[in-house]
Amino acid sequence: MSVYDAKIAGLSGANDLLSLLKGKVTLVVNVASKCGLTPQYTALEALQKEYSAQGFSVVGVPCNQFMGQEPGTASEIETFCSTTFGVTFPLSEKVDTNGDNRHELYKQLTLTADSEGYVGDIRWNFEKFLVSRDGEVVTRFKPQATPDAPEVVAAIKDQLAK
């Protein structure tokens, strides 16, 4: 099944955010506003600006499962992201990435191993998944891998070249 077939609402209420991204290379990232890794929003937005014209998009997926670091409402999250980091990439509704209420999207994403072979639950905010144009999960990056890390950028460029 293609990741783009997973139904997830946009933060502002759009019903089927991922269907709008079919045919694009997408970096799916679980995000939080009050995390030590929150400054990664800057590099995520830089990727969005640099590669969007080539058919790339970041998608931020707010999640409050990690020490309550995304407590805000949809409006508060949207305001924080746009005013603090100038975020222009799409944000989804707030979801659970782990546990009994894990969102359908994360049921698919967590089956992919990272470079160290880790498969399973999301470990922390800002874990990243690169999805191909046809909706296949290509690779997974741990939370500490910055969006502008050479391995992340190389993987994005590789997918964009296909």
d(CA 132, CA 80): 29
pLDDT for position 122: 98
Amino acid at 74: A
Active site residue 35: yes
Enumerate the domain spans of the chain. Answer: 3-160
pLDDT at 144 over 90: yes
CATH class held by domain 3-160:
alpha beta
**Candidates 20, 35, 74, 149; catalytic one:** 35
For residue range 9-53, what is the model confidence (pLDDT) as tens digits? 999 877 899 999 999 999 999 999 999 999 999 999 999 999 999
The sign of the torsion formed by the CA atoms of 35, 91, 29, 51 equals: negative
For residue range 81-135, what is the model confidence (pLDDT) as tens digits? 999 999 999 999 999 999 999 999 999 999 999 999 999 999 999 999 999 999 9
